């Protein structure tokens, strides 16, 4: 950071101008509008009236919102955890494979098809009359069709499917930079296979795990289309609530207030994670790891 030569102040400002412009126009200004709207009175039929009130925040204190928030948190944490559990071995395998380009292509190919069409494909596979049920019925494994869709499990499954590539890619690029001879060294020094992975690999790729976590948790927390299409009567998430308040109930301040809560929760979460990442292992479920992670980090020089 300090290596920038010359009069860093003026030049730095010049370099930063485009991104500052971009961020203020497309991020800060909309955010300011959301904040402002959340403190106003809903207009008669959508929009807002310029009378300040805290009604929107009072409405959020309602137990109905707590229930949706809880459901959203459960789905988001569950889906993110499953995604990471699948993504870490995938990234590891890709990094060690000799056909990296091919595997990368395979990860990317789903992006060629529209996201909604891929959700409809899941409906065609898992539906009451879907392919899977056809097979189950034809082979006699089931007497009548099994209801896979329209519940929380289906929402999580499709969310994991959707965001898996976003988790695999950063993990792959981090693991790819990992010096695998360190694993051999750990084994030579008597670590078990699992121990070597836990104490040497994971601490060194925690940056990738963090990125993967953020790339999956944040969009899942605001998911809208997936619970709408494969969710059931009980799969309402905060994203759906915002859309309904905005378009159906036309309570824009309430929608703004809910959006703001989401933004705050994610921001606080991210800040906590980033701070934790400074000196402790991210995603290490145990408590004993921090002590080991430091030397490991020193060797690997993780980000």
Partner 1 sequence: MKKNLFMAAFAATMCLVLSACGGAAEKLYLFNWIYYIPDDVIEDFTKETGIKVIVDSYASNEEMYNKIVAGGGGYDIVVPSGDYVSIMIAEGLLEPIDKTKVPNFGNLDPAAIARIGFDAGNTHSVPFMMGAAGVSVNKTKVSGYDRSWSIFDRSDLQGRMTMLDDMREVLGAALKTLGYSVNDPDPAHLEQARQVVERWKPNLVKFDAEAFAKSFAAGEFWVVQGYAENVFIEYPEEKRGDVDFFFPKEGTPMYMDSFCVLKGSKNAEQAYKFIDYMLRPDIAARVSDYLMLPSPNVPARALMKVTPNYQFSDLDRGEFKEDLGQETLKLYNDIWRRIRVGN
Contact 208, 170 (CB under 8 A): yes
Q: What is the dihedral of CA 3, 6, 10, 13, to 10 degrees?
A: -30
Three-state DSSP at 27 gives helix
The distance of Cα 295 from the centroid of its chain, to the nearest Å, equals: 29
16 DSSP assignment? H
Joined tokens for residue 138: 């034809």
Q: Which residue, 150 or 213, is less far from partner 1 as judged by CB?
A: 150
Closest separation in Å from C-beta 129 to partner 1? 5
Q: Which residue, 151 or 277, is less far from partner 1 as judged by CB?
A: 151
Question: Which residue in the block uniquely carries the two structure tokens 């988790």?
Answer: 167
Query: Which is nearest to 170 in space by CA: 202, 233, 128, 215?
Result: 215
Closest separation in Å from C-beta 234 to partner 1? 6
Closest separation in Å from C-beta 45 to partner 1? 6
Q: Which residue, 19 or 114, is less far from partner 1 as judged by CB?
A: 114
Closest separation in Å from C-beta 127 to partner 1? 5
Q: Which residue, 205 or 237, is less far from partner 1 as judged by CB?
A: 237
Closest separation in Å from C-beta 25 to partner 1? 20
Question: In the 3-class helix/strand/coil scheme, how is 60-79 assigned residue by residue?
Answer: HCCHHHHHHHHHHHHHHHHH
Q: Which residue, 27 or 120, is less far from partner 1 as judged by CB?
A: 120
| Whole-number Å distance between alpha carbons of 16 and 19 | 6
Contact residues for partner 1, defined by CB under 8 A: 44-47, 63-65, 67-68, 116, 120, 123-124, 127-130, 147, 149-150, 228-229, 231-236, 241, 244, 247-251
């Amino acid at each position: 950071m300090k290596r920038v030569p010359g009069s860093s102040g003026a030049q730095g400002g010049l370099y930063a101008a485009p991104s500052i412009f971009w961020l203020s126009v497309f991020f800060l200004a909309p955010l300011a509008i959301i904040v402002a709207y959340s403190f106003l009175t809903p207009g008669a039929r959508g929009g807002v009236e310029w009378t300040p009130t805290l009604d929107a925040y009072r409405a959020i204190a309602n137990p109905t919102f707590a229930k949706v928030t809880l459901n959203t948190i459960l789905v988001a944490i569950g889906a993110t955890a499953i995604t990471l559990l699948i993504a870490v071995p995938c990234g590891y395998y890709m990094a060690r494979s000799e056909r990296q380009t091919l595997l990368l292509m395979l990860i990317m190919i789903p992006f060629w098809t529209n996201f909604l069409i891929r959700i409809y494909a899941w409906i065609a596979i898992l539906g009451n009359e879907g392919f899977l049920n056809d097979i189950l019925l034809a082979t006699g494994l089931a007497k009548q069709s099994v209801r896979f869709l329209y519940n929380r499990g289906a929402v999580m499954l499709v969310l994991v499917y959707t965001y898996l590539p976003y988790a695999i890619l950063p993990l792959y690029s981090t693991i790819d930079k990992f010096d695998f001879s360190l694993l051999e060294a750990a084994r030579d020094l008597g670590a078990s296979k699992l121990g070597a992975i836990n104490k040497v690999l994971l601490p060194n790729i925690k940056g990738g795990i963090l990125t993967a976590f953020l790339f999956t948790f944040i969009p899942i927390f605001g998911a809208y289309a997936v619970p709408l299409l494969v969710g059931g009567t009980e799969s309402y998430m905060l994203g759906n609530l915002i859309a309904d308040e905005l378009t159906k109930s036309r309570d824009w301040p309430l929608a703004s207030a809910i959006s703001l809560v989401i933004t705050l929760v994610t921001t606080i979460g991210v800040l906590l994670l980033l701070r934790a990442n400074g000196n402790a292992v991210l995603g290490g479920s145990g408590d004993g790891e921090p002590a080991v992670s430091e030397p490991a980090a020193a060797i690997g020089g993780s980000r």
